[in-house]
Amino acid sequence: MRRKKRKRQVDEQLLEAIFTVEQEWKRVQSIVEQSIEPTVEGQNRVAIAQAKYVFLLREAKRRQLNALRYGQS
C-alpha cells in the first residue's frame, strides 16, 4: 500500500516536471526564434531545455506513465 502511494507521488512530480520543462523549452525556443541574431548561448539553452524535456519523457515512458490517469484525481 505504501509503495503504491509513493510511486504515485513520484509519478505526479515527474508529470509536473515534464509540463514545467516543456513550457520552459518552448519559451526559450520562442525567444531565440524571434531574435534577429540568435547567440550561441541562446541556442545552447534551447538544446539543454530540449534535452531535459526528452529525458523526462523517456523516464515517463520507462515508468509507463500516462498523464490522463493522473489528471482525474
List the grid coordinates of 54. Answer: 526528452
Q: Please, what is the angle between helix 40-62 and helix 2-34, to 10°? A: 150
pLDDT in tens, 8-62: 899 999 999 999 999 999 999 999 999 999 899 999 999 999 999 999 999 999 9
Does pTM surpass 0.85?
no
